[in-house]
C-alpha cells in the first residue's frame, strides 16, 4: 500500500481500491502513475485491475447488468456446440433478454432481440455476438465518457509496473504470483533450449526468469486447460464424451462467481450454485468434503466473491487425479498441448 500524502487544498479526489471502494488518496512524490486518459475502454474491460473501477462506476449508475451480460456472452462463446450450450443459451436469454427479468438488458435495436429469439431454435456459440457488440457500443458512446468524468476515474492510481502486470495476467490467464504471458522467447546463444518467462514479483514488478526447458506434456495441468479458452472447450467436449461434465461446469461457475460485477447479485448467484451443484437434490451434484459444504452453507446469506474458492480447488484436485489421466490418452490432448505450447 502506498504511503498517505499530506492533505493540501489541491489534493486529488479519493483513490479507489481494487474492489471499487473509495479510499484516502495514497501516493508519494516519487511514485510515477500512468496517465489513465490514455487507456481505452477495451483495456478497462479486459484488464481485471482496471475493470474493477469501471464495475464500481456501473454499479452506481445501475448499469451493472450490461457488464455482467457482456462477460456472460464472452464465456458462452467458448462453449462447444452441445446440449449444454443450448441450455445455457436459453438461460442467458431468459435472464438478460426477458423484459420481466430483474436483470433485463434493453437493446438499441429490436432486431437483435428478434434474432436471439430465432437463434434459440438452433443456438451457436456466436448467437449473442450482436448483443455483445451493442453493449460495447453503449459503453463506448454513453457510459465510458461519463465514467471518465467521475470521481472513481479521477481517483485511479496505477503504476506502469502494475499495468504491465495486469496486461500479462490478461494474456496468460494465470495467477498474479506467476504470469506466463504469450512470450517472445529470448534464447541465449549458449543454450538454445533456455527461455525466459515474465514473472510478477510481490511488488508488482515484472522480471524475466529463465526456465531450462519448454513446456512438456507432463507440465500440463487442469488449471492450464481450464484457464485457456481454447483448451477449455476441448476439455469440456472430452468430459461430455465420458459423462463427467458436472465438475467442469462447477469450476466454470465458481470462476465466474469471483468476478460478479454487482454485489447485490452475490447472494442470488451463490444460492443458485449451491442448489445446482451442492445441495442434496442438486441435478449436477459434485463431490465435496462435508467440511467445505458446511462453510458454504454457513455463508450463503452473506457471501463474498471468494466463497467457492476452496471448493473450486478441491474439484481441481479431483480432476487432476481422475479426469486428466484419461484426457491425456484421448485424441483431444495433443491439440490442447499444441495450443498451450503456442501460448507459452
Sequence ranges of the domains in the chain: 36-158, 218-343
Query: In tens digits, what is the pLDDT along the chain, a chain of 344 residues?
Result: 333 333 333 344 444 444 444 444 444 445 689 999 999 999 999 888 898 899 999 989 988 889 989 988 888 887 776 777 888 899 899 989 988 888 899 888 888 889 999 999 999 889 999 999 999 999 999 999 999 999 999 999 999 988 888 887 766 443 333 333 333 333 333 443 344 444 444 444 444 444 456 889 999 999 999 988 888 888 988 888 888 889 999 998 898 888 876 677 788 889 999 999 999 899 889 999 999 999 999 999 999 999 999 999 999 999 999 999 999 999 999 999 998 988 87
CB 300 within 8 A of CB 267: yes
Measured at the CA of 306, the angle between CA 14 and CA 206, to 5 degrees, comes to: 65
Q: Could you say which architecture CATH assigns to the domain 218-343?
A: Orthogonal Bundle (1.10)
- Which fold is adopted by the domain 36-158? Regulator of G-protein Signalling 4; domain 2 (1.10.167)
Residue 318 burial (C-beta neighbours within 10 Å; 0-12, 13-18, 19+): middle
CB 135 within 8 A of CB 108: no
Q: What pLDDT was estimated at residue 49?
A: 85
Q: What pLDDT was estimated at residue 261?
A: 66
The owner of cell 481494487 is 18
Q: What pLDDT was estimated at residue 322?
A: 92
Q: What pLDDT was estimated at residue 199?
A: 41
CB 224 within 8 A of CB 231: yes
Distance CA 279, CA 270 (A): 12
Q: Residue 248 CA to chain centroid, in angstroms?
A: 15
CB 153 within 8 A of CB 13: no
Amino acid at each position: 500500500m502506498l504511503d498517505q500524502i499530506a492533505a493540501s487544498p489541491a489534493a486529488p479526489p479519493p483513490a479507489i481500491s481494487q474492489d471499487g471502494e473509495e479510499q484516502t488518496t495514497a501516493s508519494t512524490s516519487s511514485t510515477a502513475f500512468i496517465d489513465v486518459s490514455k487507456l481505452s475502454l477495451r483495456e478497462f474491460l479486459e484488464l481485471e485491475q482496471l475493470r474493477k473501477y469501471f464495475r464500481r462506476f456501473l454499479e452506481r449508475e445501475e448499469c451493472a447488468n450490461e457488464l455482467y451480460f457482456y462477460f456472460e456472452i464472452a464465456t458462452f462463446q467458448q462453449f462447444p456446440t452441445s446440449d449444454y450450450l443450448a441450455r445455457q443459451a436459453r438461460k442467458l436469454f431468459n435472464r438478460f433478454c426477458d423484459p420481466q427479468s430483474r436483470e433485463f438488458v434493453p437493446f438499441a435495436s429490436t432486431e437483435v432481440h428478434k434474432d436471439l429469439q430465432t437463434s434459440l431454435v438452433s443456438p451457436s456459440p456466436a448467437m449473442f455476438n450482436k448483443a455483445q457488440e451493442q453493449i460495447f457500443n453503449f459503453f463506448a458512446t454513453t457510459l465510458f465518457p461519463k465514467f471518465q468524468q467521475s470521481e472513481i476515474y479521477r481517483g485511479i492510481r496505477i503504476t506502469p509496473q502494475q499495468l504491465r502486470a495486469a496486461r500479462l495476467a490478461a494474456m496468460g490467464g494465470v495467477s498474479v504470483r506467476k504470469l506466463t504471458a504469450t512470450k517472445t522467447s529470448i534464447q541465449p546463444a549458449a543454450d538454445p533450449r533456455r527461455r525466459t518467462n515474465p514473472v510478477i514479483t510481490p511488488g508488482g514488478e515484472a522480471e524475466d526468469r529463465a526456465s531450462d526447458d519448454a513446456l512438456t506434456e507432463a507440465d500440463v495441468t487442469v488449471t492450464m486447460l481450464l484457464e485457456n479458452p481454447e483448451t477449455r472447450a476441448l476439455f469440456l467436449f472430452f468430459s461430455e464424451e465420458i459423462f463427467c461434465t458436472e465438475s467442469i461446469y462447477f469450476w466454470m461457475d465458481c470462476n465466474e462467481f469471483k468476478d460478479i460485477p454487482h454485489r447485490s447479485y452475490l447472494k442470488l448467484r451463490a444460492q443458485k450454485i449451491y442448489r445446482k451443484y451442492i445441495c442434496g437434490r442438486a441435478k449436477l451434484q459434485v463431490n465435496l468434503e462435508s467440511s467445505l459444504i458446511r462453510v458454504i452453507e454457513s455463508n450463503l446469506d452473506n457471501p463474498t466473491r471468494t466463497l467457492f474458492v476452496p471448493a473450486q480447488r478441491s474439484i481441481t484436485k479431483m480432476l487432476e487425479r481422475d479426469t486428466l489421466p484419461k484426457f491425456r490418452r484421448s485424441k483431444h490432448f495433443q491439440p490442447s498441448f499444441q495450443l498451450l505450447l503456442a501460448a507459452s
